[in-house]
Chains A and B, each alone.
Chain A
Amino acid sequence: MTPVLAIENLHLGFKGYTGYTEVLHGISLSINPAERVALVGESGSGKSVTARIILGLLQEVRGATIRGELRFLQHDLNSIGTKHWRDLRGTRMSMIFQDPTSALNPVFTVGVQFIEVLRRGSAPLSEAAALSRASALLQSVSINDPERVLQAYPFQLSGGMNQRVMIAMALANNPALLIADEPGTALDVTVQAQTLDLMNQLVASHNTAMLFISHNLGVVREFADRIYVIYRGRIVEQGPTAAVFNDPGHPYTRALMAAVPRITGGGIADIPDTSDEFLQPCVNHGSAL
C-alpha cells in the first residue's frame, strides 16, 4: 500500500547569528491511507515544525534549512515547486490548530471564511451553493443552527463551537491528510473530549489519514492507531499504540509515561529532565498493518 505521507531522514536547521542549529536530526515517519498516527513529545521536541514542513510553510522561512525525502500521495514534495505545493494545502492536506478562536480571522464572519476555504477546493462555486455546503458541513459537526454560526464572528462563538467550525473547514475539501496540531489544548477537558470524538468519527467517515500531534498521552492512547515518540528532534520509539503502551522499550518513552499524573494518587515519579539514556537508538515495534 502506498502511504499518504512518507518522510525519510528529515533534517531541519536554522541559520542564526550564533551559527547553525540543527533542530530535527533525521526523522522518518509514514502514514497509510485512513490511518491515525500520533506524534508525541514534549515542548520543543520538534512536533510542530514537522507539521509545518509537511505543509510547506517552514520552507518559506528564510534561514531554515531542510533536507530529506518528503512524499505525499504521488507527489515528491521537494520537486513539485512552491506553487504546486500551495495548491495541495487546504485541498489535499489540511490542518487544525491549537487554539480555534485565535486561528479564525476576527474581522470576517465564519460564513465568509468558510466560503473562501470551499472555493480553494472546487473552482467556481456560487455564494449560495457554498453557503448551503458550509451549512451541511457544520451540521455534520453537530452544530444545530448553522445559519446563525455562519453569520457570527469567531469572537461571538464559544471555543468548542469554533473548534467544530475548524474541524468542518479542515475536512471541507475532503483532504487525504489532516494534521491536527494539539487540537483543543486551549479548550477545557470535556469540550476537548467531545470535539476529539467528533473529529475521530469524521476522519473515519471521510477516509482521511490523520497526523495527530500531541503531548497528551491519554488522548493519544484513545485516538491513534500508531505512535511515534519524538525527543529532541529524533524519533525514539515507534509502533502500534497498544504495543508502545504495553511495552515501552525506550527509556524516554517510559519517562514520558511515568510523567502522567494518575487519579489513584502517588504523585509524579522523580524523572530527570535529561538523561544520556534518552539518547539511545530508536525502538521499533514494527507496523500493525
Chain B
Amino acid sequence: MSAVVQLLLRRLGISLIVLVGVSMLVFGIARIIPGDPARIALGPNATVEQIAKLRSSMHLDESIVVQYGHFIKDLSRGDLGMSLYTNRPVTLDIAEFLPATLELVIVAGLLMIGIGLPLGRWSARYRGRLADHVIRLVSLLGVSAPSFVWAVILMLLFAFFLPLFPIAGRISDTYTIERVTGFLLVDTLWAGNFQAFSNALWHIVLPAFALALSGIGQAARLTRANMIETYDKPYIEMAQAYGFSGRRIANRFAFKPSLIPSLTIIGLDFAAMLGNAFLVEAVFAWPGLSRYGVAVILRKDLNAIIGTVLIISATFLLVNLIVDLLIAFLNPRIRHSQRQTS
C-alpha cells in the first residue's frame, strides 16, 4: 500500500474518533445547560400536554445515553433532526447556509496563501532592507487586530468613505442565479453569467480581506522566519556557490524546505477562519452559517446547534487532513519514513 494512502487512512480514522468525541461533548453540553428546549420552541402559550408531546417526540424524557443512541441512529441515515427555529430539517438549513461561509473562508484562505507566502519570501530575501521592514510592520499590524475589527475598518474605509466596494451582501439584487452548488462564484460561472460573477467577486473582496488579514500577516511572518533559518543551511551556500540567482534560490531552493513548517500553522489558521467568519459575516450581513448558528444557540435549538458544530468540526478536520497530505507530498522525509514502517 502506498505510503500516502496509508497516511490518509490513518488520518481518516483519527478524524472519525475526534468527530465522535466532539458529538458526545456538544450533545452533553446542549442537554446539560438549563432551559427546556421544548418549552422555548413552543412559546409561552403552550399547554403542558403540548410540551410533553414534543418532549417525548424529541426523546427528551429518556436518559441521555438513550438520547445519544437515537441521535447516532438518525445521523447514520443522514438525519440531523428538525430545527425548532426554522421548522425544517437541520441538514437542509446547513446545506443552505454553509456554502456562503465556505466560499468566504476559501477565498480568504487563498488570499492568505497567495499574498502571505510571497510577502514572507520577499521579506526573507531582502532581509534587513526597506522591503523587509515594511512587510514586517504590515504583517504585525495584520496579526495584531482581530478580523472583525478589520471588517469594520475596511468597511468604513473602502465602502463608506471611499465607496469602491459594496457595504453588504453576496451579490446585487438585480441578479437571480439558479442555485446549483450554493457557491455563488461557481454558480454564476455555471450559468455563464460573467457579469454576475464579477459582481459576486466584487462583493466578496472586503469580507474576504477582513477575514484573511491576520492570516496573511501570520503566513508572512512564519515564512520569513523559516526561510531565514533555511538561508543559513549549507545547501543554500552550495546553491550560491553554483551560481544560482538570488531569485531562484529564494523561490525554489530555500522556499520549499521552509514551506513545510509554515504549512501546518497555515492549515490551523485556515480552519480558525471558520470561527472568525461568524463575526465577519455579522459585520457584512453575509448570509452564511453564522447568522443561523447564533440564532439557534440563543433559541436553544438542540438539533441545529449540534448539527452546526458537527459540520464545522468536520470541515476543520478536513482542512487539517488536506494540510497533512500536502505536507507529506512536499516533505520526502515523511513520505519515506511511512514506507519504512510498513
Contacts and interface: CB of A to CB of B under 8 A. Distances in A.
A90 B243 contact: yes
B332 A90 contact: no
Contact of A104 (B238, B243, B331): B238
Contacts of B237: 57, 97, 103
A121 to B, nearest CB: 10
A86 B243 contact: yes
Interface in B257-304: 257, 260
A89 B257 contact: no
B235 A116 contact: no
B235 A120 contact: no
A90 B239 CA distance: 9
Contacts of B183: none
Contacts of A104: 235, 238
B257 A55 contact: no
A95 interface: yes
Contacts of A169: 242
Interface in A98-113: 98-99, 102-109
Interface centre among A99, A107, A156 (most CB of B within 10 A): A107
A91 interface: yes
Given A86-B245, A89-B243, A103 B238 contact: yes
A86 B248 CA distance: 13
A248 B332 CA distance: 51
Contact of B332 (A55, A94, A98, A153): A153
Contacts, number: 71
A120 B242 CA distance: 8
Contacts of B194: none
Interface centre among B241, B245, B331, B336 (most CB of A within 10 A): B241
B234 interface: yes
Contacts of B241: 55, 57, 89-90, 94-95, 97
A197 interface: no
A155 interface: yes
A203 interface: no
A62 B127 CA distance: 11
Interface string B139-174: 000000000000000000000000000000000000
A106 B336 contact: no
B150 to A, nearest CB: 34
Given A153-B336, A155-B333, A105 B235 contact: yes
A91 B243 CA distance: 8
Nearest to B240: A57
B167 to A, nearest CB: 46
Contacts of A94: 241-242
B242 A105 contact: no
B253 interface: yes
B53 interface: no
Contacts of B239: 105
B244 interface: yes
Contacts of B336: 153, 156
B233 interface: yes
A103 B235 contact: yes
Nearest to B255: A107
Contacts of A108: 253, 256
B338 to A, nearest CB: 14
A109 B244 CA distance: 17
B223 to A, nearest CB: 15
Contact of A97 (B128, B234, B257, B333): B234
B242 A106 contact: no
A151 to B, nearest CB: 11
Contacts of A120: 242-244
Nearest to A117: B242
Nearest to A173: B242
A175 to B, nearest CB: 10
Contacts of A86: 243, 245
A87 interface: yes
A105 B253 contact: yes
Contacts of A98: 234
Contacts of B260: 107
B321 interface: no
A88 interface: yes
Contacts of B243: 86-91, 120
Contact of B234 (A55, A62, A88, A99): A99
Contacts of A103: 234-235, 237-238
Interface in B305-337: 330-333, 336
Nearest to B337: A155
Interface centre among A91, A105, A109 (most CB of B within 10 A): A105
A153 B241 CA distance: 21
A103 to B, nearest CB: 5
B60 to A, nearest CB: 56
A57 B242 CA distance: 10
A89 B240 CA distance: 8
Given A97-B237, A97-B238, A106 B244 contact: no
Interface of B: 128, 233-235, 237-245, 253, 256-257, 260, 330-333, 336
Given A55-B240, A107-B256, A116-B242, 12 more contacts: A86-B243, A95-B238, A98-B234, A102-B235, A105-B256, A106-B235, A107-B257, A107-B331, A153-B332, A153-B336, A156-B336, A169-B242
Task: State the 8 A-B residue pairs at the shortest beta-carbon distance, nearest first.
Answer: A89-B243, A90-B242, A90-B243, A95-B241, A105-B235, A103-B234, A103-B238, A102-B234
17 contacts: A55-B241, A88-B243, A97-B234, A97-B237, A102-B235, A103-B238, A105-B238, A105-B239, A107-B332, A108-B253, A108-B256, A116-B242, A116-B244, A120-B244, A153-B336, A155-B332, A156-B336
